[in-house]
């Protein structure tokens, strides 16, 4: 006898998947900051993990050595940063 999934059951499974997906993104960005960032320097340069400027993200900065990866090495901070981040030292790739 085959079991039928109710609409409520389907909704619960769908919501659980969405929550897990969002949590995974948050964890991957947090894991990107490998704990080696100088917090004083980050504060002084107003570093944020999500850039407030759509056209100025770490991934598009000349000091970011990550290519198209979601996480890459920053020459300023000497650690990994998320490509979605931003700081006051941002400069375009040349």
All structural domains of the chain: 8-82 (4.10.490)
pLDDT interval class at 12 (50, 70, 90):
low
Range scoring the smallest mean pLDDT among 27-36, 59-68, 72-81: 27-36
pLDDT of residue 9: 62
pLDDT above 80: residue 29: no
pLDDT of residue 16: 56
CA distance 16 to 30: 21
% of the chain with per-residue pLDDT over 70: 70
Paired tokens of 38 = 């100088």
pLDDT above 60: residue 82: yes
Q: pTM for the complete prediction?
A: 0.66
pLDDT interval class at 11 (50, 70, 90):
low
Taking CA atoms, 46 is separated from 66, 77, 79, 84, 87, in Å, by 21, 12, 16, 14, 5
């Amino acid at each position: 006898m085959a079991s039928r999934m109710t609409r409520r059951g389907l909704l619960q499974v769908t919501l659980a998947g969405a929550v897990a997906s969002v949590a995974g993104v948050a964890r991957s960005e947090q894991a990107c900051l490998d704990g080696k960032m100088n917090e004083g320097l980050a504060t002084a340069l107003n570093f944020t993990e999500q850039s407030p400027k759509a056209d100025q993200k770490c991934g598009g900065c000349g000091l970011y050595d990550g290519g198209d990866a979601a996480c890459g090495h920053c020459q300023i901070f000497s650690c990994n940063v998320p490509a979605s981040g931003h700081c006051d030292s941002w400069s375009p790739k040349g």
